[in-house]
Structure 1
Amino acid sequence: MKRVTAIDITRGLVMVIMALDHVRDLLHTPALTQNPTDLATTTPAIFMTRWITHLCAPTFVFLSGTSAYLSLRKQSATGTDSASGRRFLLKRGLVLILLELTVVNFAFWFDIHFQSLMLQVIYAIGGGLVVLSLLAKLPVKWVGIIGVAIVFGHNILQAVPPFTEPVPKLLWALFFRTDFLPISPHFALLAAYPLIPWLGIMLVGFAFGQLMERPMEQRKPFVLRIGFGALLLFVLLRYLNLYGDPAPWSVQKTELFTFFSFINVTKYPPSLLYTLLMLGLMLVFLSAIDGKENALTRIFTVYGKVPMFYYIIHWYLVHLSMIGMSLLQGYSLADLPSGPLNFGRPEHAGISLVGVYAVWLGLVILLYPLCKWYGKYKAAHTEIGWLRYV
């Protein structure tokens, strides 16, 4: 089965965008105190810098499901039994969770004592693959139906009151609702990506894989219609302000900020309207670039073929950039704060938004040859089993 280049291009694009958000988080001067999507305090430039990166996580998770389907189909076409393919999904999911708890979390905090644990998109993808390894036994149609039911129905759980007991609160955070849990004065857990809402997106992506098996000229218009359909449904439901997002839109001080309110949907956890808007935009883009080949798409493909490698390396580079910025601004290593959920940036250190974009562009350019080398190395050494996991 021929590799679907449009998936790599789309994934590569959102990986480039993703790095912008993480540079902003760690280096932008107001990032320690300002919510970039708070319409009372943000600016258009800061809002859009944050908002555009909302495309990243649902695209990763959705296309992880699609890639899982295509991987299983490829193995089936080469005579590998389906049980072996599902076992690989299980092992890959467990490896991703392990990487999230160790290598990735160290990249977040640079704390050898691991006083902080943040469960983000790698946890959601890893946990989703574990569940998918079981659900993949079902007909693809039923996997998709389960995914759609989760995506459209999980906002009902907003009505469940917060738990106060530690164990139920922890379980609810791991599976259903984003929550911060200060376990002790020296350890805190942020469950940013609860498993079930993101699982719904992955399962829909898995079912979408059937469409991507079709010839390009057949799937391209169909994907475009699905994308526009999702966007139209978003506009309708968002306008009604009745269901699909815990934060309703409202008229603001200017027409531009009213528009921002309309598109300011909830990511933690991903609401129905967030999912419709972001996946709708992603599908329109995927359809537009399907079958296209030029210098830009080839660049994005380099990043998109090695997503886990890029993700890990880019976090270390972003964090090192933050430390370098602090040292250049006159702080010493002793001035870098530590503690639960502390990136280690001095309170008054930081750069402008223009500086953020400059650092982001520099890091993306630096990552290109690294990703190109690793992609070639991985393709040339298929006998090295662990390369399949990174």
Structure 2
Amino acid sequence: MNTILKHRITAIDFLRGAIMIIMALDHVRDYLYSGSFFYDPLDLTKTSGILFFTRWITHFCAPVFMLLAGTSAFLTGQKKTKKELSLFLLKRGLWLIFLEMIVVNFAWNFNITFPMFFFITIWALGVSMILLAAIIHLPIKWILGICLTIIAGHNLLDDIHVAGNSLPAFGWSLLHDQQFFTWHKTVFLVGYPIIPLMAVMPLGYCLGMWYTADYDTGKRQKNLLILGGLAIVSFIILRYANVYGDPVKWEVQKNTLFTFLSFINVSKYPPSLLYLLMTLGAALLFLSFTEKLRGGVVKVVSIYGRVPMFYYLIHIYVIHLVAIVASALTPGQDWKIWILTKPIWFTTDLKGYGFSLPVAYLVWIIIVIALYPLCKRYDAYKQSNKQKWWLSYL
């Protein structure tokens, strides 16, 4: 039983650690790659293959993190009553929303006046956790049915929009329509509408049934392989049909590579059905293929996966500080520009800042390596102080 439990934790932490490392690449690109201030890396009329994949690979981070959060919730629930787990998820969800609005927003902008608020990854995670707190009281089959219905059918809402800078428009945006809003000169970006992300975490909760200590390892690996394979095959069929599952159709491009890029360039905000089939399907295959994986790489990467929130909060501050230091050391640049008053993607004054893509990759690697000792020490502290309740919130 202990072997199965240890193996199960390692497999989940390895995947979560991998996506946390990949996630940092996207944020380094945002702040340190010079091209980020000129065009979208997914714009097929301007991008290159390597730049496209630098952005595209990070598409896997948010939905996989949501999925694994649900699985972790199920496993935590093995040591709690449903009522205790529900209360824990509710409190943690509210805490995550607070972190997003204050701690994470400040990290992105370094502006104490808070001229803008981003409703992005941690916000969506927190809301999903609050909703999960309620839905866990339903039978697993009901939870699974509700989640699959939302994920499969939410693209029927793609053509529904509420225009204007109004409260109804903001409310609909929180649900299913990425938009910017302003109120008393404060900018609000709804980056991650909660539909369908709110269904991904409960889906991960259902997945947790395969990760109980008495569940057969070989059967779990086979199930993950079949389910992941079906998701990927479904993605290919639906995407090729170009009829349903994503608001943006793929098109033949100037060459085979760019046609392929168009094919896999699915919508992230909100995540389309095809986006989730692609990312979650790959995640399930990853879990299956790494079920019995061992070694130094797994051990190191898993450290990041055991302290994801700690790593997430620190890495944003570090990346932003690196951008400030780089500007301070570069003649003709003003580091104060990094105290942002507008979203970084629309700060036109940043054109001319930043470095080449290879330099951005190098900085990414250095930051990830530099954070490893901190993550390892914090993980050790958590393991030796499990009785401290507050550690489960960070």
TM-score range, shorter chain: over 0.9
On the 8 A contact 1:128/1:202 being kept in 2, the answer is yes
Give the 3-state SS of the residue equivalent to 1:159 in structure 2: coil
Deviations 1:43-73 (A, max 9, x none): 1110010011111111001111111111112
Quote the sequence identity (%).
42
1:130 partner letter: I
Deviations 1:271-296 (A, max 9, x none): 00000011111111111111211111
**Corresponding position of 1:350:** 354
Give the Cα–Cα distance (whole angstroms) in 1 for the partners of residues 21 and 70 of structure 2. Answer: 20
Q: Which runs of 5+ in 1 are unaligned?
A: none
Corresponding pairs, count: 384
Quick check: 1:161 aligned with 2:161? Answer: yes
Give the 3-state SS of the residue equivalent to 2:254 in structure 1: coil
Give the Cα–Cα distance (whole angstroms) in 2 for the partners of residues 362 and 280 of structure 1. Answer: 30
**Corresponding position of 1:289:** 290
1:179 partner letter: Q
Give the Cα–Cα distance (whole angstroms) in 1 for the partners of residues 339 and 137 of structure 2. Answer: 49
**Corresponding position of 1:333:** 335
1:141-152 map, 5 Å: 141-152=141-152
Following superposition, the deviation at residue 165 of structure 1 comes to 5.6
Quick check: 1:364 aligned with 2:368? Answer: yes
1:184-203 map, 5 Å: 184-185=184-185, 187-203=186-202
Give the Cα–Cα distance (whole angstroms) in 1 for the partners of residues 36 and 336 of structure 2. Answer: 22
On the 8 A contact 2:128/2:194 being kept in 1, the answer is yes
Following superposition, the deviation at residue 115 of structure 1 comes to 0.5
Following superposition, the deviation at residue 157 of structure 1 comes to 0.5
Following superposition, the deviation at residue 347 of structure 1 comes to 2.9
Give the Cα–Cα distance (whole angstroms) in 1 for the partners of residues 166 and 38 of structure 2. Answer: 28
Q: Which runs of 5+ in 2 are unaligned?
A: none
Give the Cα–Cα distance (whole angstroms) in 2 for the partners of residues 206 and 376 of structure 1. Answer: 26
1:11-26 map, 5 Å: 11-26=16-31
> Given the superposition, is the C-alpha separation of residues 285 and 145 from structure 1 closer, same or farther in structure 2, using an over 3 Å criterion?
same
1:237 partner letter: L
Give the Cα–Cα distance (whole angstroms) in 1 for the partners of residues 243 and 381 of structure 2. Answer: 51
On the 8 A contact 1:326/1:346 being kept in 2, the answer is no
1:89-128 map, 5 Å: 89-128=89-128
On the 8 A contact 1:107/1:319 being kept in 2, the answer is yes
Q: Which of the numbers 44, 65, 68 marks the counterpart of 1:63?
A: 68
Quick check: 1:6 aligned with 2:11? Answer: yes
Moved runs in structure 1, 4+ residues, more than 3 A? 332-338, 342-346
1:230 partner letter: A
Give the 3-state SS of the residue equivalent to 1:181 in structure 2: strand
Following superposition, the deviation at residue 335 of structure 1 comes to 4.6
| Stretch deviating more after TM superposition (311-320 or 154-163) | 154-163
Give the 3-state SS of the residue equivalent to 2:189 in structure 1: strand
Give the 3-state SS of the residue equivalent to 2:22 in structure 1: helix
Give the Cα–Cα distance (whole angstroms) in 2 for the partners of residues 386 and 18 of structure 1. Answer: 25
On the 8 A contact 1:223/1:287 being kept in 2, the answer is yes
Give the 3-state SS of the residue equivalent to 2:351 in structure 1: coil
Cα RMSD for the two superposed structures:
1.5
Give the Cα–Cα distance (whole angstroms) in 2 for the partners of residues 298 and 60 of structure 1. Answer: 19
On the 8 A contact 1:216/1:291 being kept in 2, the answer is no
| Stretch deviating more after TM superposition (245-254 or 318-327) | 318-327
Give the 3-state SS of the residue equivalent to 1:189 in structure 2: strand
Give the Cα–Cα distance (whole angstroms) in 2 for the partners of residues 319 and 212 of structure 1. Answer: 38
On the 8 A contact 2:165/2:182 being kept in 1, the answer is no
Following superposition, the deviation at residue 267 of structure 1 comes to 0.4
1:250 partner letter: E
On the 8 A contact 1:265/1:274 being kept in 2, the answer is yes
Name the TM-score, length of structure 1 as normaliser.
0.95
2:363 partner letter: V
Following superposition, the deviation at residue 336 of structure 1 comes to 4.2
1:23-62 map, 5 Å: 23-62=28-67
**Corresponding position of 1:230:** 231
Quick check: 1:316 aligned with 2:317? Answer: yes
On the 8 A contact 2:59/2:268 being kept in 1, the answer is yes
